[in-house]
Structure 1
Amino acid sequence: MRIGLVGSGGGHVRQLLDLEPLWGGKDYFFITEDTALTRDIARKHKAYFIPHVALGQARLGKPVRMAAAAFRSFWSSLRIIWRERPDVMITTGAGSCYFPILFARLRGAKIVLIDSFARFRGPSAFARIAGPLAHVRIAQSRAAGDLWPGAQVFDPFRYLDQPRPNKDALVFATVGATLPFDRLVRLVDQAKQTGLLPEQVILQTGIGSEAQIQGDIADVRETLPFEDVKQILRRAEIVICHGGTGSIITALREGCRVVVIPRSFSRGEHYDDHQWEIAQALADRGLVSMVGEDDDIGAAIADARARAPACATLDPSALIAELDGLVRNWNETGDGNVRKQ
């Protein structure tokens, strides 16, 4: 069987990487957006890039940009699906993934839709819109599953019983792989200037940042390869990041003290407030410190220093076992658009 893996260019595609025991060794390809992370993926795996599309672009007053990106995505997705002819499409969302799974479904492929781990309280807009195309719907929290008809629930969150890596006097601040986030950059810069961060700071600003760095931060980079990020996280005592699932979970895997500054829709920083949802949920579990609307990064840093660090991850093994059984069944029964070997 040929498996298509479809996810936007940040935490969504990282969740697909976590499913490698399912698709590794099979005939597969990625469809994603062009980011530093996905360029790393493209060096190791067959991958196609499509334009970034999100309904939130219109909500933020950019409907023309959204429409233009959707038009390009429509034709790019059609060409990719026509060429690759997948039998199964596994998607973690979001907006840019709609056309690939639509065309794959029209060609007879089986569609598996895994909604974002960031959705604790209910399904995402992408899940609600693309859900009718899916043969299998996966929610990653009970509350979201209860509000998404036909969804199976697999909660992948797990604490890790492992030694914490030895840490350096290092702070890693990152805005993630997709959008710039100048408020985070400015808050980290202010914290460095006022002595709240005496450690060495590595600051990743994102492409297009307009924030001016005034503090003593020698290592400022727009983007970082994902392999470099993993090496930095292994050394970093503190991580200051946006509220993206991928950034938070990769830091928790390495036992970092995590300070989360969620992007805010009302400030025009993201398409909705789902980052507040995940940040608050993890803060309630005592795993991260959170900067609220008051932008009091000093209090969050102090809280992170006082809190015992924990190691945690997303363990999709139960989901992988379930999907592996489904794919094997589809292959053996010829159910769907399955090639004859």
Structure 2
Amino acid sequence: MIFVAVGTQFSFDRLIQYMDEWARDNEETVVAQIGEGSYEPKHMQWERFLNGDQYNKNIKESSVFVSHAGMGNIISARENQTPIIVINRQYELGEHRNNHQAEGLLWMGKLPGVYTADTQETLYSQLESRDAMESPEESDNQNRQKLVSFLGDYIDGSIT
């Protein structure tokens, strides 16, 4: 099963449509949390919002988690040892208030178990390779500290 989530603050119809089309053409169960977007999927199971327990259960049970490029979902994927593909919302398409997610893809892809996509083609390519994806390390205190240090270094400009 593939789990898809767009978060709760902004809709992300482009990602939901990409995944709905992918689900139409592939024999894999896809479950999505679609938020308040206007696009309603026809080829995958979906809910607008999920409670925290169901959300985490879906992450844990999925072979890969597909998400907007949000740190909360990356952390949740790491905690559940599930590979995650993140795709950025684009300011130019009216999907966000700025382009910080596009800029973030560069460093997000350096995290273990995090894969990035910025187009439909790169998303589909990542999905084709999902069986070879590595799960992120268990998120114990030491690994959590590594993530915090990495983010701090990125913010400080030590990592580009």
Q: Same fold (TM over 0.5)?
A: yes
What is the alpha-carbon distance in structure 1 between the residues aligned to residue 85 and residue 50 of structure 2?
20
Please say if residues 10 and 35 of structure 2, whose CA atoms lie closer than 8 Å, have aligned partners that are also in contact. yes
Instruction: Give the match for residue 19 of structure 2.
Output: 188
Asked if 1:263 corresponds to 2:92, the answer is no
> Aligned letter for 1:288?
V
Instruction: Give the match for residue 156 of structure 2.
Output: none
Instruction: Give the match for residue 176 of structure 1.
Output: 7
Asked if 1:204 corresponds to 2:33, the answer is yes
Query: Which sections of structure 2, spanning at least 5 residues, go unmatched?
Result: 149-160
Residue 239 of structure 1: CA displacement?
0.5
Please say if residues 279 and 288 of structure 1, whose CA atoms lie closer than 8 Å, have aligned partners that are also in contact. no
What is the alpha-carbon distance in structure 1 between the residues aligned to residue 32 and residue 138 of structure 2?
23
Alignment partner for residue 247 of structure 1, among 69, 73, 81? 73
TM-score norm. by structure 1 comes to 0.39
> Aligned letter for 2:38?
E
- % identity of equivalent residues: 21
What is the alpha-carbon distance in structure 2 between the residues aligned to residue 277 and residue 311 of structure 1?
24
Instruction: Give the match for residue 236 of structure 1.
Output: 62
TM-score norm. by structure 2 comes to 0.79
Residue 187 of structure 1: CA displacement?
0.6
Residue 291 of structure 1: CA displacement?
1.6
Residue 286 of structure 1: CA displacement?
4.8
Query: Which sections of structure 1, spanning at least 5 residues, go unmatched?
Result: 1-169, 320-341
Q: Taking CA–CA contacts closer than 8 Å with sequence separation of 6 or more, which of the two structures ends up with the larger relative contact order? A: 2
Residue 224 of structure 1: CA displacement?
0.7
> Aligned letter for 1:287?
G
Instruction: Tell me the SS of whatever aligns to 1:269.
Output: coil
Map 1:1-341; keep pairs closer than 5 Å: 170-195=1-26, 198-207=27-36, 209-215=37-43, 217=44, 219-292=45-118, 294-296=119-121, 297-311=123-137, 313=139, 315=144
> Aligned letter for 1:211?
Y
CA RMSD across the alignment: 2.2
What is the alpha-carbon distance in structure 2 between the residues aligned to residue 238 and residue 224 of structure 1?
18
